[in-house]
Amino acid sequence: MLVHIPQVLTAEELAHIHRALEAADWVDGKVTAGDQSAKAKQNLQVPENSAASRELGEIVLRALGRSPLFTSAVLPLRVFPPLFNRYDMGMVFHAHVDNAIRAVTGGGGRIRTDVSSTLFLTPPEDYDGGELVIEDTYGTQTVKLPAGDMIVYPSTSLHRVNAVTRGSRWGSFFWTQSMIKDDGQRRLLFDMDMAIIQARQALPDDHPSVLGLTACYHNLMRMWCEL
């Protein structure tokens, strides 16, 4: 399931992140790549254990916390601390699949990567190329979003970032271990949650249809949830 989440960040948050990234140190993005991904990856990254990365990551995590669409689509259990990257002219990330398990620095344990997220930080008119291309059972999707918008998709997907041919593309990326491991089950729960929201807009909260849908949603969560 691929879901576009608009306006995750406010204009003020975006401006603050840009100022911090302009002053940040950047290193070769291969530092967080696995053996296979390292051969495909050509970009720059803010070191994940740096003060800048931690501070900006907290801003992103707070933004996720106020996004009901992210919660509904991802059903997060644990979120990997957000990382920050950039693609300057000629930089590219060829087709790859994200590592299944990620170790959190600083003794934070490990998470299973169920859902991948890319948060766009640069307006699309400021650069050419740099599209995120995702291939899965829903077909091939090409994604290039406004600054502050985010795309979430299954970490099992084959994906790539096309070469930047003008300007520079900045973004934040991270992974989430979901309470619902199976993407098909997450999709069903997401569709049901959207239907419940629509039903509540059209019907009283105590209408039998609203109550029945809500009961089914929570009973499926109880059946499938992993904590």
Residue numbers in the known binding site for 2-oxoglutarate are 169
| DSSP letter string, the chain | --EEE---S-HHHHHHHHHHHHHS--EEGGGG--HHHHHHEE-EE--TTSHHHHHHHHHHHHHHHT-HHHHHHH-EEEEPPPEEEEE-TT-EEEEE---SEEEPTTT--EEE--EEEEEE-S-GGG-EE--EEEEETTEEEEE---TT-EEEEETTSEEEEPPEEES-EEEEEEEEEESS--HHHHHHHHHHHHHHHHHHHHS-TTSHHHHHHHHHHHHHHHHH---
User: Residues comprising the binding site for Fe cation?
Assistant: 96, 98, 159
Report the amino acid identity of residue 66.
R
Buried b (16+ CB within 10 A) or exposed e, 193-211: beebeebeeeeeeeeeebe
- Spatial distance between the Cα atoms of 152 and 150, rounded to a whole number of angstroms: 7
User: Residues comprising the binding site?
Assistant: 96, 98, 159, 169
